[in-house]
A and B are shown apart, each in its own frame.
Chain A
Amino acid sequence: MKVAAAVLAAIVIVVIVAGTLVRSYTRAAFANEQRATGARALAYDALQYQLDEETAVRGYAATHNDAFLDPYAAATSALPATLRALRDAAAALKLPVAADAASDAAATNSAWLQDVVQPLLARRTDALPIEKRGKDLVDHYRADMRTVQDAVSARKQALDEATETAIDRLNGFVLLVAIAIVALGIAFGVQQTRLANDLAAKEREAAQLAAAYETEKRLAETLQDAFVQRPLPVLPAVSFSATYVPATEEAKVGGDWYDALELGRDRVMFVIGDVAGHGLEAAVAMNRARQALVTAAIVDPDPARLLARVNRELLHQRVRMVTAVCGYADARTFEFTYATAGHPPPVLVEPGRPPRMLHVGGLPLAVVDDPEYVTHTVQSVPGAMLVLYTDGAVEHSRDVLAGEETLLAAIRSASDARAGNPAAAIHSTIFDQHAVGDDVAIMTVAFVSGAHAGGEGDAAIVAAGARGAPDGVRGTIVSLGDAVSRLRERAARRRGRLAS
């Protein structure tokens, strides 16, 4: 609307200025023409007065009738003023030739009156030379008048043409203004239409952006959920530690997880898993698998049946292949029961014995209809620690057998050193400043020595030990939060590009 008002104001100003200019120009042209017309009339009068003088003088000379002298007197009294007016008009018309001619005519007439008319009126006898002189002076006078008339006529013609041109210009200008107004009107209409369209498009775009933003936000939140590992339970009889380090490459986010669920004072369910691949789809599959496993663990205490149940659910949801180990640790019986689905074997460390790899078997989840899972039961001892991990912990060199050796050595040293956070200690021993090419999650579940005999006092110590565990986890969460921030920033940049 502002633009339209400005355009309208500009048109009005242009029309007023142009109209004023044309008017003043036209008025000047008309004034000059009036002057020219007046000059012509004066020239005509001057010729007429001179003719009256001559006619009167010749009539008197022939008849000596005084009646002839009346027109002579009238003409003689009027002629000098007429010639002055003619001279002034010629000067006003910027016709110096005509002005000079008018002055010259006045002088000629004076000479004629003196040299010709006076002797004739005095009835002098030397008529022939006077007649000769009179003819010369009258011819001269008439020549002057012709000069004046020619000049004024030429000027008048020029003025007529100029006026015509001015009128043409005026017409042209009026036409142009009319065209401009029509064109501006059309342009304004088109602009209004386009603005309306643009507005509609912008609104659509904004709606799309809002929808895209919502989607991205939801995805980012899903990722955030995927990254943030749940806090591990703090129990008097069972202690946990865990670490999760995502792949160094930013694109490889999500995929690995661990969970531990308190099922009473002495019993916990534990699970570690890995979704094939990386990225958002893997994170979504991971969240579903994780949810399904924890939910199933509440209703079914048998790990093999639990995995079979979860497999059906994940197949139904058509998520990616998932590998997992899930099981229970019972601090009253010091028993681990577990089942595996395409996952690397858990490692058991018992006091005074080298760590050993447990049996594995079942197929990964979410791939085949009826996989067979087997529940393994391991009778263990107080102080025993079960180490669960994802394939990144043994497959980093792509030599699984060498990877196993490294892992077992790292577990042994962490166990011997009684590390406060065994999972973090194992990870740092294995990777020792190497870049990690794959996600790695490690979780330990241990029966606390003498927890049952010790009661509350020991429980406090255990809780302190267990509280040490989330440190590594928390550090990880911070870096994962950064990853999500980066994802969000990228999304924002995309939106920025879209909007510009």
Chain B
Amino acid sequence: MSEQSSYRVISLRGELDISRKAEIGAALQIAGPGPAVLVDLSDVQYADSTIIAEMLRFREDARRCGRRLAVLIGDPRFRRVLQYAGLESAFALFEDRGAALTYLSAAETT
């Protein structure tokens, strides 16, 4: 299995708030076991509690399906929001895409 097809990318940008709840909820919806997922939030500056809740639900779904997740972040403001929310320890957070992919592929071989 090639590294390209072994993971899926979900990319969200901008400010993630309640007005985008439906869009983000749909994006964070993966049926069945599926491959590992890279959640690319490197262009996100802010997420409100509604979206934090969506992310946690997504994490719970992935955990039940045994799916690995890596979250790519770029903005220190967003990192702080995730820290508040206790998500720093709940997600595998990366600021480097290569590192995130290495984590995902390593996870797959184990």
Determine if A52 is an interface residue (Cβ-Cβ < 8 Å).
Answer: no
Interface string of A315-342 (1 = CB under 8 A from B): 0000011010000000000000000111
A323 to B89, CA, bound (A): 16
Q: Determine the interface band of chain A, counting residues with CB < 8 A from chain B.
A: 20 to 34
The residue in B57, B76, B81 that gathers the most chain A C-beta atoms within 10 A of its C-beta is B81
Across the interface, do B84 and A391 meet the contact criterion of CB distance under 8 Å? yes
Q: Which of B53, B76, B84, B87 contacts A276 (CB 8 A)?
A: B53
A340 to B88, CA, bound (A): 14
Across the interface, do B86 and A371 meet the contact criterion of CB distance under 8 Å? yes
Main SS at interface, chain A: loop
Determine if A398 is an interface residue (Cβ-Cβ < 8 Å).
Answer: yes
Determine if A400 is an interface residue (Cβ-Cβ < 8 Å).
Answer: yes
Closest to B63 in A: A368
B58 → chain A closest CB, angstroms: 11
Q: Which residues of B contact A371 (CB under 8 A)?
A: 86
Q: Which residues of B contact A401 (CB under 8 A)?
A: 76-77, 80
Q: Which of B15, B45, B56, B76 contacts A363 (CB 8 A)?
A: B56
Q: Which residues of B contact A360 (CB under 8 A)?
A: 83-84, 86
A341 to B83, CA, bound (A): 11
A253 → chain B closest CB, angstroms: 14
Determine if A345 is an interface residue (Cβ-Cβ < 8 Å).
Answer: yes
Q: Which residues of A contact B52 (CB under 8 A)?
A: 276, 321, 342, 364
Interface residues in chain A, defined as those with a beta carbon under 8 Å from any beta carbon in chain B: 274, 276-277, 320-321, 323, 340-345, 360-364, 367-368, 371-372, 391, 395, 398-402, 404
Interface residues in chain B, defined as those with a beta carbon under 8 Å from any beta carbon in chain A: 15, 18, 45-46, 48-50, 52-53, 56-57, 59-60, 76-77, 80-81, 83-87, 89-90
Q: Which 10 pairs between the two chains have the least Cβ-Cβ distance?
A: A321-B53, A276-B49, A363-B86, A398-B46, A367-B56, A342-B85, A400-B80, A342-B86, A344-B84, A362-B86
Could you list 7 further interchain pairs (A-B, Cβ under 8 angstroms) beyond the known A398-B15, A398-B46, A401-B76? Answer: A274-B49, A276-B52, A277-B49, A363-B86, A364-B52, A399-B77, A400-B46
